Amino acid sequence: MSRALIIGAGGVASVVVNKCCQNSDVFTDICIASRTKSKCDALKNKLDGGKTKITTAQVDADNVPELVALINEYKPDIVINVALPYQDLTIMDACLETKTDYLDTANYEPLDTAKFEYKWQWDYRERFEKAGITAVLGCGFDPGVTGVFSAYAMKHYFDEIHEIDILDCNGGDHGYPFATNFNPEINIREVSANGSYWENGNWVETEPMEIKRVYDFEEVGQKDMYLLHHEELESLAINIKGIKRIRFFMTFGESYLRHLKCLENVGMTSIEPIEFEGKQIVPLQFLKAVLPDPATLGPRTVGKTNIGCIYKGVKDGKEVTYYVYNVCDHQECYKEVGSQAISYTTGVPAMIGAAMVLTGKWKKPGVFNVEEFNPDPFMEELNRFGLPWKENFKPVLVD
Ligand code: NDP
C-alpha cells in the first residue's frame, strides 16, 4: 500500500509509470506530475483501469513552494524524479521540507555549466539523515544498475576489485541520420564534454572521443566504443574497496559522430546564450527543438542494447575476472511498454529502486548511491521486471 509521486512525463517517466502499474502490489497509487499536464493525462489514459490508481497534476519542478504544495496535497511515500537533472535540487528541497523519500536517475547539473558532479547532492546527506528520510541517487541503468552490479560483484565474487570497465553498447538503429536516444540536450552535453577516467586515486582527463576501443558484444556484434566521463565513476571510486582504475565506454556509430562534429563546428551544441531576432536563445536548446523527440523513436528502433561491467580483482588471493551484463531488445520493449530500450533500461531500475525503498529493503536515513545498498533483492527484481542479467567469468578484457 504505497503512494508514489512521479515527476516528469517524458520517455523514462512513461516506462516508470508502466512498470509501477505492473508492480501494483507495491504501487497502489501513483500521481504523474509534470510541466505539461496533457502528457501526464495521455499516460494516465493509456494505463488507467488496472489495480494501480493513477492521478495527474501540473507542476513546475523548478519551483520549491509549488512542489511542496503538491506533495502536501498528494502525500506520497516517495517522489520519483524523472524530470531533468536541473530539477534535482529543488525536488530534494521539497522532499526535505515535507519529509518524503526521494529517488532520481541522473545527478544534478547547473543549467549554465555542462559539468555534472555529485557534490551538490551529497551536500544534503546530513539534512536527509536528520529528517530520517532516504534519497537514492542515480537509479537508472548507468548510473544505477552499474552500481548494483558493482555491489553484487563485491559481495559475492571479490575481496578487492581493482579495475572496472563499464561498457554501454547501443546496437539499435532508428533510421535517422542523427537523433539522440534520450533528452538531446542532456545527451549532447554529456558526449561533447572532455572524457575522463579514474586511475590510482586521480582523474585522468582526455579530449572528447580521444580513446577508442573495439569490442565484440554478445547479441550485438563488433562496435566502436569511446571513453567518456560518466557520473557513476565518481561514487564507485569512493565506494568500491581497493579500486585502482574505472573507465566508462559508450558505443557510437560513424554517422552520429560525423553529425555531432559538424554541429559542434558550427556552434549548434553551445550552451552560451546568443541574440537571435531580438531574443536570447541557447543554441543547444534550439537544436533540441529541431531534432526528433526521443519518445517518438520507439516504433522505428530495431536492434539491441548490451550494457554491463567487467571487473578484475582478487578473491582468496587468486585473480578473478567477472562480466555481468544485460541485453535488451528495442522492439520487445516497444511491444511491452511503447518505448525504446534506452528509456526502458532507465525506467525499470527507477521503479525497482523506488520499490526497494517502499518495501523497507533500501530504507535508511541519508543520501546514498545505489552501490551502498544490498544488491541482492534488486538483482532478483531485474530478472522479474524485464532486465535479466548474464554472467561470464572469462570475458574478453578491454586493453
Ligand atoms: P524527457 O526530456 O523525455 O522528459 C523529461 C520530462 O521532464 C518532460 O516530461 C518534461 O516536461 C519534464 N520537465 C522538464 N522540466 C520540468 C520542470 N521544470 N517541471 C516539471 N517537469 C519538467 O527526458 P527523458 O525521459 O529521456 O529523461 C529523464 C531523466 O532520465 C533525465 O534526467 C535523464 O538524464 C535521465 N536518464 C538517465 C539514464 C540512466 O541510465 N541513469 C539514461 C537516460 C536518461 P515537458 O514535457 O513539458 O518538456
Neighbours of 49 (CB within 10 A): 9
Distance 203 CA to ligand 1 centre (A): 29
Q: How far is CA 197 from the centre of its chain?
A: 19
Domain of residue 213 covers 145-337
Best of 90, 105, 234 to mutate for ligand 1, by most ligand atoms within 8 A of CB?
Answer: 105
| Count of structural domains, the chain | 1
Cβ distance 106 to 83 under 8 Å?
A: no
Cβ distance 102 to 136 under 8 Å?
A: yes
| pLDDT score of 116 | 78
For the chain, give the percent of residues with pLDDT over 90: 90
Hey, whose CA ends up nearest to atom 34 of ligand 1?
Answer: 106
Q: Which three cell numbers stand for residue 200?
A: 590510482
Ligand 1 pocket member 34 (CB < 6 A): yes
| pLDDT score of 295 | 80
> Is there a domain that residue 182 lies in?
yes
For the chain, give the percent of residues with pLDDT over 70: 100
- Give CA angle at 149 (302, 352), nearest 5°: 70
What pTM does this model have? 0.95
Q: Which of 375, 345, 373, 378 is nearest to 16 (CA)?
A: 345
Residue type at position 309: C
Q: Is the pLDDT of residue 117 over 90?
A: no
| pLDDT score of 63 | 98
Q: Is the pLDDT of residue 46 over 70?
A: yes
The CATH number of the domain holding residue 241 is: 3.30.360.10
Best of 6, 19, 35, 169 to mutate for ligand 1, by most ligand atoms within 8 A of CB?
Answer: 35
Q: What is the DSSP letter of 36?
A: S
Ligand 1 pocket member 10 (CB < 6 A): yes
Residue type at position 37: K
Mean pLDDT of 183-189: 84
> Is there a domain that residue 265 lies in?
yes
Ligand 1 pocket member 87 (CB < 6 A): yes
Ligand 1 pocket member 40 (CB < 6 A): no
Mean pLDDT of 316-345: 96
> Is there a domain that residue 134 lies in?
no
| CA Rg value for the chain | 20
Q: Which three cell numbers stand for residue 60?
A: 513546475
Q: Is the pLDDT of residue 6 over 70?
A: yes
Distance 81 CA to ligand 1 centre (A): 9
| pLDDT score of 227 | 97
Q: Is the pLDDT of residue 321 over 70?
A: yes
Mean pLDDT of 216-241: 96
Beta strand 195-199 pairing with 78-81? unpaired
| pLDDT score of 151 | 98
pLDDT band at 111 (very low <50, low <70, confident <90, very high): confident
Mean pLDDT of 162-189: 91
| pLDDT score of 14 | 96
Distance 80 CA to ligand 1 centre (A): 11
Distance 40 CA to ligand 1 centre (A): 13
pLDDT digit string (tens) for 263-276?
A: 999 999 999 999 99
Residue type at position 232: E
> Is there a domain that residue 193 lies in?
yes
CA 137/CA 110 separation, integer angstroms: 16
Residue type at position 291: L
| pLDDT score of 192 | 86
> Is there a domain that residue 268 lies in?
yes
| pLDDT score of 109 | 84
Ligand 1 pocket member 228 (CB < 6 A): no
Helix runs in 157-229, H state only: 184-192
Report the atom number in ligand 1 closest to the C-alpha of 84.
Answer: 32
Mean pLDDT of 247-258: 92
CA 245/CA 108 separation, integer angstroms: 24
Ligand 1 pocket member 32 (CB < 6 A): no
Beta strand 134-137 pairing with 101-104? parallel
Backbone φ and ψ for 195, nearest 5 degrees, come out as -85, 165
> Is there a domain that residue 57 lies in?
no
Helix runs in 202-310, H state only: 231-239, 254-265, 283-290
| pLDDT score of 114 | 67
> Is there a domain that residue 344 lies in?
no
Mean pLDDT of 177-181: 89
> Is there a domain that residue 110 lies in?
no
| pLDDT score of 9 | 96
Give just the sign of the alpha carbon dihedral 146, 148, 153, 159. Answer: positive
Cβ contacts of residue 108 below 8 Å, gap of 6+? 85, 86, 88, 89, 116, 117, 118, 120, 121
Ligand 1 pocket member 186 (CB < 6 A): yes
Residue 196's alpha-carbon distances to 18, 233, 234, in angstroms, are: 35, 9, 11
pLDDT digit string (tens) for 284-306?
A: 999 999 999 888 888 999 999 99
Q: Is the pLDDT of residue 357 over 70?
A: yes
Distance 356 CA to ligand 1 centre (A): 22
Tell me the average pLDDT of the chain. 95
| pLDDT score of 294 | 85
